[in-house]
Amino acid sequence: MILIYTHHITTRVLYAMDVVFNTVLQTEYKLTDNKEEFEGDNKCKIAYTKMDDGFSVFIKSDDLLFESDIDTKTIEVDNEYLDFPKFFKSNTQDFLGYDLFAMVFYFATRYEEYLKSELDEHQRFQAENSLAFQNSCLQIPFLNLAIQQFGDKLKQQFPSLNFNNRNFNYLSTIDVDNAFAYAHKGLKRNLGGLVKDVFNLRLRQVAQRIMSNLNDKKDPYNTFKYINSLSDETQTALQYFVLIGDYSTYDKNPHYNKVGFRKLLKGLSNQHEMGLHPSYESFNDLEKIEIEKKRLEDIIEKKVTSVRCHFLRIKLSETYRAFIKAGITDDYTMIYASQSGFRTGLCTPFPWFDLERNEITTLTIHPSTIMEGTLRDYNGYTSEHANSTIHNLLSEVKKQGGEFVSVWHNDSFVPEQAEWMEVYKNLLQISKI
């Protein structure tokens, strides 16, 4: 048991301590603002406060965890580092030289994203505007690393301390933005597409469209049997996230009442976990999340408790509150579209903190690490560069005993994407090493 003294116990302090000690180090702690109790105890003790009063372990606190508002911060950072930059650098000699708890809180809560920096065309916070990207640590689970080093240093000070080791876990996730290229899309959509294909002499697409509508197993995007076989062969945990929203510019799955679509989803859900892929339009119409969740539950006849938003569109804090209201317990949206790595600085699941309400919530955030569209479309990587990037990120997560979550799409398993199918297969293989 670790006893921690602070001059004022706030929800922010509790949250930061929970992430450090419960989530990552997996050890018990007790928080007190009673100095006499603290001084009279002979356990492992940490003082997290403004002034050093001769404490054996003193971490000078920044004001961040004792505030209740959200303001632009000037964050001192020691970025001449071998391992990771030390944010919230201390100007006095203390145990670490920086405020670990403020650093954990700032990045885990995505504090900087509430400040509404320049957004991209889909109203998403941009990776390139993040402190992690600007300080060259986005591809390092730097919060895990900082907490690990903190734990190691504590054990040097208190040899009787023991922390539980986390076990590495890999989860392959498949986003189903478009279950079929042609099948079950309805007469109007297919007829319009057919006319365009004929007019542009795309005879191969004409043939595929006709064959797919006669037998949906021949639809080029119906790659699920192959995806499932790879999972079975490598004994890899697999989860699907299904888009089931109404048709729109960016939401183009078949109508949820189409028999073939429903049959496909029911079959997949009998083999693997299935979550909701809230539609693009749900970003501005949060009521759609509950509607879409119920649609999927009715089809697969199971409770749906996990999500990843289509186009990775989340609106802090509104989207996450809508998830909680709808009965969602686990979110997998926390990854950037344009850059791979660790958006929160963490590679372990952790509770979401509602920064606007200063509340610890029941929603668990699962940081995703890699997406094929990022490497292929945003970064323009070759397969060799992609394999190298994946290997490096996977190695970092393994070192921390973290959870590595990859994002692929079912339409990336077509012959035209053979190179990226090989990248995926390589990922499944090295995840077992």
Q: How confident is the model at residue 182 (pLDDT cuts 50, 70, 90)?
A: confident
Please count the residues of the chain: 433
pLDDT for 196 equals: 67
Cis peptide before 340 (omega within 30 of 0): no
Q: How confident is the model at residue 256 (pLDDT cuts 50, 70, 90)?
A: very high
Judged against a pLDDT cut of 90, whether residue 202 lies above it is answered with no
- H helix or E strand, kind and range, residue 124: none
Spatial contact of 97 and 90, defined as CB atoms under 8 Å apart: yes
> Among 124-128, 191-195, 389-393, which stretch is predicted with the lowest mean pLDDT?
191-195
What confidence tens digit (pLDDT) does each residue in 312-336 have? 999 999 999 999 999 999 999 999 9
Mean pLDDT, rounded, for 86-97: 92
pLDDT for 82 equals: 82
Instruction: Report the candidate in 337, 274, 265, 272 with the shortest Cα–Cα distance to residue 306.
Output: 274
Tell me the C-alpha distance between 360 and 317, whole Å: 12
Instruction: Give the Cβ contact number of residue 124 at 10 Å.
Output: 19
Q: How confident is the model at residue 188 (pLDDT cuts 50, 70, 90)?
A: low
Q: How far is CA 92 from CA 42, 75, 138, in A?
A: 26, 15, 27
Judged against a pLDDT cut of 70, whether residue 174 lies above it is answered with yes
What confidence tens digit (pLDDT) does each residue in 329-385 have? 999 999 999 999 999 999 999 999 999 999 999 999 999 999 999 999 999 999 999
List, in sequence order, every residue forming a beta bridge with 353; answer none if it has no partner: 360
Judged against a pLDDT cut of 90, whether residue 169 lies above it is answered with yes
pLDDT for 81 equals: 76
pLDDT above 70 as % of the chain: 94
Instruction: Give the Cβ contact number of residue 327 at 10 Å.
Output: 12
Tell me the C-alpha distance between 155 and 57, whole Å: 12
pLDDT for 207 equals: 66
Mean pLDDT, rounded, for 244-260: 95
Judged against a pLDDT cut of 60, whether residue 192 lies above it is answered with no
Mean pLDDT, rounded, for 8-30: 97
Spatial contact of 332 and 173, defined as CB atoms under 8 Å apart: yes
pLDDT for 73 equals: 86
What confidence tens digit (pLDDT) does each residue in 274-290 have? 999 999 999 999 999 99
Query: Which tokens in the block code for residue 253?
Result: 């799955």
**Helix 187-199 vs helix 203-214: crossing angle, to nearest 10:** 160
Q: Could you give phi then psi for residue 29, rounded to 5 degrees? A: -145, 160
Higher pLDDT residue, 21 or 198? 21
pLDDT for 191 equals: 59
Tell me the C-alpha distance between 223 and 213, whole Å: 16
What confidence tens digit (pLDDT) does each residue in 211-233 have? 767 778 889 999 999 999 999 99
Query: Which tokens in the block code for residue 113?
Result: 């994203």
Tell me the C-alpha distance between 311 and 22, whole Å: 32
Q: How confident is the model at residue 184 (pLDDT cuts 50, 70, 90)?
A: confident
Judged against a pLDDT cut of 70, whether residue 248 lies above it is answered with yes
pTM: 0.94
Query: Which tokens in the block code for residue 263?
Result: 């049959």
Tell me the C-alpha distance between 142 and 56, whole Å: 26
pLDDT for 116 equals: 79
Spatial contact of 280 and 245, defined as CB atoms under 8 Å apart: yes
Mean pLDDT of the chain: 93
pLDDT for 396 equals: 97
H helical segments located in 69-122: 100-108, 111-114
H helical segments located in 80-186: 100-108, 111-114, 131-134, 142-157
